[in-house]
Amino acid sequence: MVTLPSDALVILTRQPVGRGVSGSCWASMGKNQHAALWKRSHPVNNPHLLSNELVCYRIAKELGLPVPDSFPLPVVGELPVFVQMSFTGNGPLTPPVTPDQCAAAVAEHPLLTAKIVAFDILVMNTDRHAGNLAFRSAKTGADLLVIFDHGHAVFGAPGQEPAPKRFKRVDWLGCDGNPGSRHCLLDHIEDSNVLDAALSSTRTLTDDVLKQALQTARGFGLSTEESNRAYDALSRRRDRLHDVVAKNRKEFKKITQWGVI
């Protein structure tokens, strides 16, 4: 987690970002007014948004995945917010990726895209639609691959099979569109050996990392009971990633030959 200096200037605006980031608004950071996005949990629409973001950010960073620098921000008299630095600087966000761009991302970054899918299986991310992944081909001279918006992962949200129910679906792929959005990369992964390597890499996550991720969320309102339930679910899914994928082979429509999975 990025450590925010105590005297850092953060300006939260009410100007909505407009798409793909769970009702986020624009913010500016520091004297140079670097663009950022902010959002907070909603007691009805998404009570676990902040916890979901904090847990996923910690896990994604541990796995070396391309997520923007982010941090929780206390707000006097209000609920804390999650702030994410804009990965396009002060420019506009990239548009949602197309199916052709998803295929190109997998072709250019086979292991990294497989690791993104493995990560989203682990955290049960029901919201990796085309607006929550940014990609520019290396052929354009401005290579870019970034994932963001994890407000519906882990504990889920209303309409997204929220916890504790989702924690009991031990063989659920977690990102197949049932419920939520089908993972935008899922239909483009085509090498089972690369997927196996990605799953194996994700399974190296230690218990301490999972506990630390949840401990951060507990510092911003997550209860001990919920934290313990999430730890049990995440550690179990981590240990069973290969089994979960093996039971959901039909969801990987481009893989025609399966190896050890």
Q: Tell me, what CATH number does 133's domain have? A: 1.10.1070
- Boundaries of domain holding 61: 10-85
Query: Is residue 259 pLDDT above 90, yes or no?
Result: no
**Given 85, 118, 145, which residue is the final one in a domain?**
85
pLDDT per residue as tens digits for the range 147-192: 999 999 999 999 899 999 999 999 999 999 999 999 999 999 999 9
* Domains held by the chain: number: 2
Query: Is residue 11 pLDDT above 80, yes or no?
Result: yes
Do residues 255 and 249 lie in contact, with contact meaning Cβ atoms separated by under 8 Å? yes
State the pLDDT at residue 23.
79
Query: Is residue 52 pLDDT above 70, yes or no?
Result: yes
Rounded CA-CA distance 43/233 in Å is: 23
How many residues appear in the chain?
261
State the pLDDT at residue 92.
80
Query: Is residue 6 pLDDT above 80, yes or no?
Result: no
User: Where residue 81 sits, what CATH number does that domain have?
Assistant: 3.30.200
**In the chain, what are the helix, strand and coil shares in percent, each to the nearest 5?**
35, 15, 45
Query: Is residue 8 pLDDT above 80, yes or no?
Result: no
**Same-domain check for residues 112 and 177:** yes
pTM for the model: 0.95
**Same-domain check for residues 118 and 244:** yes
